[in-house]
Structure 1
Amino acid sequence: MLPLRLSDIAAASVHLFTALGAVCGLFAALAAFDGAWERMFIWLGVALVIDGIDGTFARMAHVEERLPRFSGERLDLVVDYVTYVFVPALALLRAGFLTGTWGLVIAALILLSSLYHFSDLASKGEDYSFIGFPAIWNVVAFYVFVLSPPAWLTYTILLALVVLTFVPMPWVHPMRVKRLRTLTLAVTAAWAIAAIAAVWSGFPAPVWTQVVLVAAALYLCGLTVERVLQGRWDD
């Protein structure tokens, strides 16, 4: 038996750290069944943070070299599907934003379209942009809870995003975009502050957080639309 090296333990610990996102998803689902929406989004937020930093740890620990048999990318996809897709769809149903037969249909479309995105080998561009709507249904659900839009608008937006999953347009990654990087990072930071304040205050969120969150969404969507219109696919 080969001796267990400290570097191998470190690499395995990174995989464990990634896997904790699934545990966050479980706690978030339990909160959804309890109707504890703020607690649910706290757990989804923790999962989002884990997803945002585990790649850095993986590179530091040389996980692919130390544990070549285990795919961190596959593990990440499984965890992301739970926290980015399944729990948010469940929450929209449990909270009454999706109701009746049409509500179930839209929830099913969210699950199915996201499976297409997660299994698409060309879902990411060379500049780390997402090709097609990136299945960030946790963020979409958060906006629905924050803004509480009328049902017709909620259904329209959700259906539009399902369709956009299959449209090969590049959606910018706010942490990877090069053009207007400083401004984009500032907008992302403002979004994070407003999101935390919204969860802290409870739903429906205070008006100022709604304004900041909508402005940030419009800015990031604007970057995506601008790139499509001007044909910039690599900045």
Structure 2
Amino acid sequence: MEQADPPATVPPSRRAAAFGVHIFTAFGAGVALLALLEAVREHWSAMFFWLGAALVIDAADGPMARRLDVVNLQPNWSGDVLDLVVDFVTYVFVPAYAITASGLLLPLAAPLLGIGIVVSGALYFADRRMKRDDNHFRGFPGLWNVAAFYLFLLHWPPALSSLFIAVLIVATFLPFHVLHPVRVVRLRRLTLTLIAVASALGIYVLFRDFDVEPPVTIALCLIAVYVVASDGAFRLVRSFKS
């Protein structure tokens, strides 16, 4: 069914501003292309800077859309679909290329794992069960940009890196839950503080081209463990108390 146009009484400037949010979201795809160009040149830190810019766009467009009432003022354009398209490119496709082409995986396994990343990522983005009601993600949430960052940071032997990627592909479909760093209410202040610390450390890592001190790596790994395991730990403690 076709969506109705917004009421004629709405000023054109408001409708234009609302459509501007869609343009802002779509610009994330352009940023993804810049990241891919850097990846093709093997400028990995520059690639991650662009992927970080895409993260900022993804974090900002939702509040902007709600503030400007984009759903009602631009009903013929689906912000949800647009967001998923851009997210797939920035969170899955470009990182999959980087992981596959980086030389960090076993040569024979790299293309197969790359295919596994994009296929599992596409299925995950189409899964209506991808989030719980409390905004925890179900399974590994297709954050391949983050997985790629840790792969470059840790720089394990190719066999171990390949195993790491294979485990994450399988974990996409497993029934465990991962913290959404912004939308989960429980311990939100702690979570936002840790995400801010991780962001600052991540920028430092990129400026150093991944040549950082062990405490930086350890801190980033501990924050990742918190994001992945905090819900499971909370439920385990609650079960013991009950």
Common fold by TM > 0.5: yes
| TM-score after normalising by structure 1 | 0.92
1:166-181 map, 5 Å: 166-181=173-188
1:26 to 22, 33, 47: 33
Q: How many residues align?
A: 232
Structure 1 residues not aligned, in runs of 5+: none
Q: Which residue of 1 aligns with 2:3?
A: none
1:78 aligns to what SS in structure 2? helix
2: distance between equivalents of 1:53 and 1:206?
32
Q: Which residue of 2 aligns with 1:110?
A: 117
The Cα shift of 1:91 comes to: 0.7
- Structure with higher Rg: it is 2
1: distance between equivalents of 2:53 and 2:16?
23
The Cα shift of 1:177 comes to: 2.4
2: distance between equivalents of 1:181 and 1:80?
23
Post-superposition CA distance 1:51-85 (Å, at most 9, x none): 01100000011010011111111001110111101
Q: Are residue 126 (structure 1) and residue 126 (structure 2) matched?
A: no
2: distance between equivalents of 1:117 and 1:228?
24
Change (3 A) 1:103 1:69: same
1: distance between equivalents of 2:191 and 2:210?
26
1:213 to 211, 214, 220: 220
Q: Are residue 88 (structure 1) and residue 95 (structure 2) matched?
A: yes
> Identity of aligned pairs, percent?
39
2: distance between equivalents of 1:137 and 1:147?
15
Q: What RMSD, in angstroms, separates the aligned Cα atoms of the two structures?
A: 1.9
Structure 1 runs of 4+ with >4 Å offset: 1-4
2: distance between equivalents of 1:206 and 1:24?
30
Q: Are residue 45 (structure 1) and residue 48 (structure 2) matched?
A: no
Give the letter aligned to residue 74 of structure 1.
V
Check the 8 A contact 1:85/1:110 in 2, yes or no.
yes
2: distance between equivalents of 1:150 and 1:157?
11
1:187 to 194, 200, 208: 194
Structure 2 residues not aligned, in runs of 5+: 1-7
